Amino acid sequence: MNLQDLKIIVTGAGKGMGAHFAQRLSQAGAQVCAGDVDEAAMAVNLPAAVHKKRLDVSDEADVATFVDWAADSMGGLNGLVNNAGILRDGLLVKRDRTTGEIVKMPAANWHAVLGVNLTGATWMVRDVVAKMAKTEQKPAVVVNMSSIARYGNRGQSNYVAAKAALAANTVTWAREFAPFGVRVCAVAPGMVATPMTAGMNQKALDSFVAQIPVGRVGQPEDIWLAVKFCLECDYFNGRTVDVDGGCSF
């Protein structure tokens, strides 16, 4: 697809990669509807040409309302960058260094991450594709944001579960939605410089960078190039692209 032909939703668009994707799509001539729980961040970080509306992807009713609004605002809908995500990192079971007590991951941390990164992402795909199918909008494309953490990463049981499932369902959905003319792809970033990772301990960050053959963390533009490929290449479908600088956990 040509970027200028897109009428596309970007979730998690208030800052970081989502804001960068929305900006680049708008610059390329696409119509963009941006959603995020942080309306103030969207107002600051996104150009006036981008349609903006508060969106909590973990709220099923909110997703349905947002998709209807986006389709009405753009006069159609043929794309989704499924980017919204959160972190609540921690070991599933650990021993407290001070007390020696065995501590378990709080259920709230598990449910919060799965609620946004998997359930919310799934509701977005479901409602966007249902709208595309109803309006017979084709060709159309969905780009899911997975992560190289899907291979397994210490301290991220909740995040790993969500991102692995999203990569697997990229294959499932590509097969299910083919009759509607909808491609489904995924991009799996490694460590990327965003507000989500900005608070990382410097020693831990240096240790991680030492494992990356290109010798640096990624930038949002690096990930945008992969998203752009997924959007533009009509023969790419049902697969996940790792963009991680060659890193291997």
16-64: pLDDT as tens digits: 999 999 999 999 999 999 999 999 999 999 999 999 999 999 999 999 9
154-199: pLDDT as tens digits: 999 999 999 999 999 999 999 999 999 999 999 999 999 887 677 7
159 noted as active-site residue: yes
Q: How does 19-48 read in b/e, with b if 16+ C-beta sit within 10 Å?
A: bbbbbbbbeeebbbbbbbbeeebbeebbee
**pLDDT (average), residues 233-247:** 96
Task: Tell me which amino acid residue 224 is.
Answer: W
**pLDDT (average), residues 84-108:** 95
Could you tell me the domains of the chain? 3-243 (3.40.50.720)
Count helices and strands (H / E) in the chain. Answer: 8, 9
Q: Which of 21, 159, 173, 177 is catalytic?
A: 159
The model's pTM:
0.94
The confidence score (pLDDT) of residue 204 equals 74
CB of 120 within 8 A of CB of 165?
Answer: no
Beta bridge partners of 186: 144, 240
